[in-house]
Structure 1
Amino acid sequence: MSSSNNSTKLLVCAAGIFFCYFYFAMLQEKITRGDYGDDENKEKFTYMFALVFFQCVINYFFAKLLLLTIMKESEDTTKTIYYATSAFTYLLGMVCSNMALQFVSYPTQVVGKAGKPIPVMLLGVLLGKKSYPMRKYFFVFLIVLGVITFMFKDGKTSTKQSEQMGFGELLLILSLIMDGLTSAVQERMRAEHKSKSGYMMLNMNFWSMIFSGIVIALSGELLEFIKFIQRHPTSLWHISTFSMAGALGQFFIFLTVSEFGPLPCSIITTTRKFFTVLASVLLFGNTLLIRQWLGTFVVFSGLFLDAAYGKTQSVKKETVK
């Protein structure tokens, strides 16, 4: 009976992750790449700091609700500077990722962001003085190979198109670097203060909300964002449900990790990303070359193998005295 209940709970968590992030992904592509307005007055949504600010507000209050109800965790002793630093890199990572969608297709963004283990491992070796088993390096090599295969440009493109595609890929690289730095700071937080995920979500979104709020207030983006919402009221529904889907998806990920461990969660999220790419191709008309499908397969094979066999705890390198 207990095994049956666990299987049902895992299926519910998996369905929650799939549904929330599928909806999240479709709305992200609609918001960042779609057109608002009629044929004569079409315009793009370009207010990325405002979009991230909105996300962080929803995530903050969602985390607050969880801590008051479900996630009743012990007192948090994590230094504020850690939360502020990780929030800053987390914010820049999200902004760069969203901005990249203005220059590259959604499948390109997903495959590019699937390379997150690369900066995490490099920064772990360089800054955290960690070592990893050889199979971990092999799985990450597969991810690198797949990303390169996917991103490789063949055929002739116009100069303007090449510049735009190059800028989009640069934004993805910056986003990956920020993700790696965020993970490095979070590892320090866990090692020194045993920081809990609920407090991490709460405080990182709080500081990201502060930083992005300052940016949109000083730059005038907040006023332009409000005017855009007034011109296109449907965009407010898209942004609100997009943010809520992301917050609820984070809850299902936390629940999966806490109940079943990181391995099932990694496999579920990896599989979800692949189907998100497939859905983007089918629903939004994004076409992939055979080479790009091959690259996608190699990337997700590396991610799946890493999730299944590469989760061995890394160890600190011994310092020579």
Structure 2
Amino acid sequence: MTVLKQGEDSTSKTYYAACSLTYLLAMVASNMALQWVNYPTQVVGKSCKPIPVMVLGVLLGRKSYSWKKYVFILLIVIGVSLFIYKDKPSAEGKSSEGIGLGEVLLLLSLTMDGLTGAVQERMISESRTKSGHMMLNMNLWSIGYLAVALVVTGELFVFIDFVNRFPEVIWNMIIFSLCSAVGQFFIFLMVSDFGPLPCSIVTTTRKFFTVLGSVLLFGNKLSSRQWSGTVLVFSGLTLDAVYGKSKVDRKNIKE
């Protein structure tokens, strides 16, 4: 049951359970990676999210893309990486030669992102899952997983103690939850109507546009590398909008 009138939901509960688990694992792995890699490395790593979403969408989600789509997405990913990356020395204790645990966790996070997208592709193709049903069921499964994790790790009692000492944080959590719910509404709407890949592109490029907007509004200067990244992002987005849609996509739009 959802507030939105979207009819009966025939999506398999297994898909919801799997999708919620991979989503949570992606988030946990990404946050844990910060213990071994610096924040710019994590941001640049996560900017590659559309790639596993696309690849695993093809391998597991029964999706197909033209070769042009791969090129355009690669342009966007490289552009965002160039734009966001900061030329700063690595923080002590958070960097090492070669691939360390932090990089492995980032790869795990990206893999989970790809699996989440693949499962969502299955939902949409098999059951035409609507955004309200997807949002409701994924959050219910996530609550269950997190409740078990909180009890097993003992963090539930730490949280209760923290709230008792700082009760004013409750209002912050309520506001944060409301804002998150509004954001989720549009994210799931985009996933159900356009697919996981366009959604991953939007969530990847949002940081780019946020920084670019601040540059334009406040007159901050961009380095030559950032300008190169800007050109690549806009080139990729423009080319994808004009040439990236398959014949099936164009047919659906016309209908």
Aligned partner letter, 1:237: W
Superposed counterparts of 1:1-321, under 5 Å: 67-68=2-3, 71-100=4-33, 103-105=37-39, 109-128=42-61, 130-146=63-79, 149=82, 157=90, 160-163=93-96, 167-253=101-187, 262=194, 272-277=206-211, 290=223, 293-294=226-227, 297=230, 300-301=233-234, 304-305=237-238, 308-309=241-242, 310-312=244-246
Distance 2:229 2:59 in 1: 28
- Percent sequence identity is 52
Distance 2:228 2:173 in 1: 31
Indicate if the aligned counterparts of 2:21 and 2:145 stay in contact, CA closer than 8 A: yes
Indicate if the aligned counterparts of 1:140 and 1:302 stay in contact, CA closer than 8 A: no
Indicate if the aligned counterparts of 2:83 and 2:208 stay in contact, CA closer than 8 A: no
Deviates more, 1:139-148 or 1:215-224: 139-148
How far the C-alpha of 1:234 sits from its partner, in A, is 4.5
What TM-score, normalized to structure 2? 0.72
Distance 1:84 1:257 in 2: 17
Indicate if the aligned counterparts of 1:270 and 1:300 stay in contact, CA closer than 8 A: no
Aligned partner letter, 1:218: V
Query: Could you say if the C-alpha distance between residues 73 and 140 of structure 1 is closer, same or farther in structure 2, counting changes exceeding 3 Å?
Result: same
Paired residue for 1:59?
A: none
What TM-score, normalized to structure 1? 0.59
Aligned partner letter, 1:273: K
Distance 1:295 1:112 in 2: 18
CA offsets 1:85-108 (integer angstroms, 9 cap, x no match): 111101112223444556533x65
* CA RMSD, 1 decimal: 4.1
Distance 2:18 2:191 in 1: 25
How far the C-alpha of 1:114 sits from its partner, in A, is 3.2
How far the C-alpha of 1:254 sits from its partner, in A, is 5.6
CA offsets 1:257-283 (integer angstroms, 9 cap, x no match): 89xx749x86976664324346899xx
Indicate if the aligned counterparts of 1:78 and 1:189 stay in contact, CA closer than 8 A: yes
How far the C-alpha of 1:136 sits from its partner, in A, is 0.7
Aligned pair count reads 239
Indicate if the aligned counterparts of 1:76 and 1:195 stay in contact, CA closer than 8 A: yes
Deviates more, 1:293-302 or 1:72-81: 293-302
Query: Could you say if the C-alpha distance between residues 131 and 271 of structure 1 is closer, same or farther in structure 2, counting changes exceeding 3 Å?
Result: closer
